[in-house]
A and B are shown apart, each in its own frame.
Chain A
Amino acid sequence: MRIPCPHCGERGNDEFVYLGAAALTRPAADAPAEAWHSYVYLRDNPAGLHSELWQHTHGCRRWLVVARDTRTHAVFSATDAAV
């Protein structure tokens, strides 16, 4: 599996570290426990397109949002998470 880093170009996935879903929204500090439980523990497990965070640890060290098909590992896009 190769990830097209927007800064370094296409690189092998051993240069990257995986974090998890990119679309999580952190609840307010005073949100109910259920909201925090959901944020911390509950994850979708899609068979198909998944938006996720990868860090290019051994390249530019930037966090990227990568759109990947979980069935085929086809990567559709990779953008800088901070831009």
Chain B
Amino acid sequence: MAELSAFTKVKSVAATHGSTTAMPIEPRSVVSITAWRGAAPALADAAQVTFGLTLPQPGRWIEHNGLAAIWAGPGHWWLQRDGRSELLAELAPLAPHAGLIDMSDARAVLRLSGPAARDILMGLLPLDLHPRSFTPGCAASTLAAHMGVHVRQLDDAPTYDLSCLRSYAGSLWRALELASAGPLRLPAA
């Protein structure tokens, strides 16, 4: 079956302003893992042994061999890989220790990158994104224009990934346009 973009309703799906760009990251595979009660240490061991992945501390994310682990709460992480893959099956070794849920079709991811990215997001997210408090490797879940989003910083460009419920993808895109109004305006959708 053909892949349908979560951003189909948005006319310009890759917008640029100067060297700051916004684009959907599609397709990608996302699995939510939540440690069973008391099983967090066993889950961390299994992730380390099987995938060489050190599950990140609160407010952090890491990547190993293209597999990203993003902290989402105590005992709760998102595992994510760019491109469509059988991630849920790949993660089966973690199943004795955690509940695994395939969220690939439930989430939409938007990547904002470039010199203006931080200023744009500062107008959208109620977080302090100044480099003294939010750096590459940091992750948080919060609200963007009343939509729940997960945000993580990838590099010092700076580059950020925003993940929201798939059906909010168009609304998040427009909120991003509003947040970038003025000198940072992205092309209208």
Q: Which residues of A contact B (CB under 8 A)?
A: 7-9, 11-12, 14-15, 57-62, 80
Contact = CB atoms under 8 A, between A and B. Distances in A.
A40 B126 CA distance: 36
Contact of B148 (A7, A12, A58): A58
A60 B74 contact: yes
Nearest to B74: A7
A58 B58 contact: no
A60 B141 CA distance: 7
B72 A14 contact: no
B53 interface: no
A18 to B, nearest CB: 16
Chain B contact residues, majority secondary structure: strand
Contacts of A7: 58, 73-74
Interface string B50-81: 00000000110000000000001110100000
Contact of A11 (B72, B73, B142, B148): B142
B140 interface: yes
Interface of B: 58-59, 72-74, 76, 126, 140-143, 148
Contacts of A8: 58-59, 140-141
Contacts of A59: 73, 140-142
A60 B140 CA distance: 9
A11 B126 contact: yes
A15 B126 CA distance: 10
B141 A58 contact: yes
Contacts of A15: 126, 142-143
A80 B74 CA distance: 10
Contacts of B143: 14-15, 58
Given A59-B141, A60-B58, A61-B76, 8 more contacts: A7-B58, A7-B74, A57-B148, A58-B142, A59-B142, A60-B74, A60-B76, A62-B73
A61 B142 CA distance: 11
Nearest to B133: A9
22 contacts: A7-B58, A7-B73, A8-B140, A8-B141, A9-B59, A14-B126, A14-B143, A15-B143, A57-B148, A58-B143, A58-B148, A59-B73, A59-B140, A59-B142, A60-B58, A60-B73, A60-B76, A60-B141, A61-B76, A62-B73, A62-B74, A80-B74
